[in-house]
């Protein structure tokens, strides 16, 4: 499928879906604490989405080719889990870091965002990984403008991660988003400046770098979804859905509780 340019009406719908996804992340923030299970976080988010927002949790029963249907409404990826962690009986302990990834569907359009949370006090090393990963996402976002190339985003993210001695996960990437959860283009979090698709106003896609404290290699668990670092090093991820605007970039997954950009 070619990369779509969204109409003004479609962009209005994407703004709404994006804000709603971000508001789920706001809602769950104070509930991420030692002693809570990831399954409880899922159930709370599910009830908020369906009951309060009137949104559909896009992950639930999502089954891309080669995957079995995803069984829950959000992804919770703890410590050395990279992404797609399935919520369940696991109880968060003080010092855990957890990514919560929320994708909602509202009026046929998707909003996709994730943030990192701390259960209790993280180690200095964990906090540094989480902060640098947030900066990586923002380095990517700051490259977005008409005429820029996708490779500019990847190159900027990769340079920042590697400058801090961290590594970029290669197997998963950002993606176009709209009426479908995952559309073209693929937004790699590594690459070469000037390479790849030229951005045009009206394109909507995610930037969602997964950064490992150790080596980049990953493996998939037997549940068919959860991705972990091969060397068991910590991994972090942040995600926004963005729009290429007439003269730059607009963050679509913004809410009252969205963390501010790094200085
Ligand atoms: N939200 C993830 C992304 O950012 C995709 C999760 S697919 C799921 O692309 F099925 F695991 F939910
Ligand atoms: Co995404
Ligand atoms: Co996501």
User: What CATH number is associated with residue 133?
Assistant: 3.90.230.10
Kindly state if the Cβ of 181 falls inside 6 Å of ligand 1.
Answer: no
Q: Is the pLDDT of residue 182 over 90?
A: yes
Residue nearest to atom 11 of ligand 1 (CA): 84
Across 234-247, average pLDDT: 98
How is residue 53 annotated by DSSP?
A: I
Query: Tokens 């559909």 map to which residue?
Result: 56
Q: Is the pLDDT of residue 256 over 90?
A: yes
Q: Is the pLDDT of residue 29 over 90?
A: yes
Across 101-114, average pLDDT: 99
d(CA 145, CA 198): 9
Across 238-258, average pLDDT: 98
Kindly state if the Cβ of 25 falls inside 6 Å of ligand 1.
Answer: no
How far away, in angstroms, is 58 Cα from ligand 1 center? 8
Residue 156 lies in a domain: yes
Residue 196 lies in a domain: yes
- Strands 109-118 and 240-244, by their bridges, are unpaired
- CA distances for 69 relative to 18, 38, 151, 221, angstroms: 24, 19, 32, 15
Residue 256 lies in a domain: no
Q: Is the pLDDT of residue 68 over 90?
A: yes
pLDDT, the chain, mean: 98
So what's the pLDDT on residue 69?
98
So what's the pLDDT on residue 117?
99
Residue nearest to atom 2 of ligand 1 (CA): 101
d(CA 141, CA 207): 7
Is there a contact between 58 and 69 (Cβ–Cβ < 8 Å)? no
| Residues 36-55: tens digit of each pLDDT | 999 999 999 999 999 999 99
Q: Is the pLDDT of residue 1 over 90?
A: no
- CA distances for 252 relative to 48, 71, 110, 179, 239, angstroms: 20, 26, 11, 15, 11
- Strands 75-78 and 218-220, by their bridges, are unpaired
The dihedrals phi and psi of 217, each to the nearest 5 degrees, come to: -65, 145
| Residues 183-213: tens digit of each pLDDT | 999 999 999 999 999 999 999 999 999 999 9
Q: Give, for ligand 1, the residue of 18, 68, 175, 181 to mutate: max count of ligand atoms closer than 8 Å to Cβ.
A: 181
Residue 226 lies in a domain: yes
Residue 66 lies in a domain: yes
Kindly state if the Cβ of 111 falls inside 6 Å of ligand 1.
Answer: no
The share of the chain scoring above pLDDT 90, in percent, equals: 99
Across 215-220, average pLDDT: 98
Kindly state if the Cβ of 183 falls inside 6 Å of ligand 1.
Answer: no
So what's the pLDDT on residue 253?
99
Residue 20 lies in a domain: yes
So what's the pLDDT on residue 175?
98
Q: Exposed, middle or buried: residue 214 (CB in 10 Å: 0-12, 13-18, 19+)?
A: middle
Kindly state if the Cβ of 75 falls inside 6 Å of ligand 1.
Answer: yes
Closest CA to 191 of 166, 156, 216, 154: 154
Kindly state if the Cβ of 104 falls inside 6 Å of ligand 1.
Answer: no
HSE value, Cβ hemisphere, 13 Å, CA-based, for 48: 22
Cβ contacts of residue 43 below 8 Å, gap of 6+? none
The dihedrals phi and psi of 146, each to the nearest 5 degrees, come to: -55, 135
Across 114-133, average pLDDT: 98
Task: Find the ligand nearest to 25 CA.
Answer: 3
How far away, in angstroms, is 109 Cα from ligand 2 center? 13
The share of the chain scoring above pLDDT 70, in percent, equals: 100
In the β-sheet with 210-212, what is the strand arrangement from edge to edge? 167-168, 210-212, 235-237
pTM, two decimal places: 0.99
Is there a contact between 87 and 98 (Cβ–Cβ < 8 Å)? no
How far away, in angstroms, is 101 Cα from ligand 3 center? 5
CB under 5 Å of ion ligand 3: residues: 101, 112, 239
**Per the structure, how many domains does the chain have?**
1
Domain hosting residue 21, numbered range: 8-251
So what's the pLDDT on residue 4?
97
Is there a contact between 209 and 141 (Cβ–Cβ < 8 Å)? no
Query: Tokens 């900027």 map to which residue?
Result: 156
Kindly state if the Cβ of 23 falls inside 6 Å of ligand 1.
Answer: no
Residue 1 lies in a domain: no
């Amino acid at each position: 499928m070619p990369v779509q340019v969204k109409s003004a009406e479609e962009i209005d719908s994407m703004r709404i879906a994006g804000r709603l996804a971000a508001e789920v992340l706001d809602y769950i923030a104070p509930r991420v604490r030692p002693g809570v299970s990831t399954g409880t976080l899922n159930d709370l988010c599910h009830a908020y989405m369906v009951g309060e927002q009137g949104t559909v949790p896009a992950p639930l029963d999502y089954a891309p080719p080669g995957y079995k249907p995803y069984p829950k409404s959000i992804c919770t990826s703890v410590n050395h889990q990279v992404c797609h962690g399935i919520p369940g009986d696991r109880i968060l302990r003080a010092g855990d870091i957890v990514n919560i990834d929320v994708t909602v569907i509202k009026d046929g359009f998707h909003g996709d965002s994730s943030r990192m949370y701390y259960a209790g006090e993280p180690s200095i090393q964990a906090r540094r990984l989480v902060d640098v990963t947030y900066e990586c996402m923002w380095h990517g976002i700051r490259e977005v403008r008409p005429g820029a190339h996708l490779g500019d985003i990847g190159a900027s993210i990769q340079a920042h991660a590697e400058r801090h001695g961290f590594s970029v996960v290669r197997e998963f990437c950002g993606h176009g988003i709209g009426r479908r959860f995952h559309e073209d283009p693929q937004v790699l979090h590594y690459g070469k400046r000037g390479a790849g698709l030229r951005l045009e106003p009206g394109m909507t896609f995610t930037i969602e770098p997964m950064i490992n404290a150790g080596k980049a290699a990953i493996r998939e668990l037997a549940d068919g979804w959860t991705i972990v670092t091969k060397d068991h090093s910590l991994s972090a991820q942040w995600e926004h859905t963005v729009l290429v605007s007439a003269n730059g970039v607009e963050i679509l997954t913004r809410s009252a509780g969205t963390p501010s950009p790094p200085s």
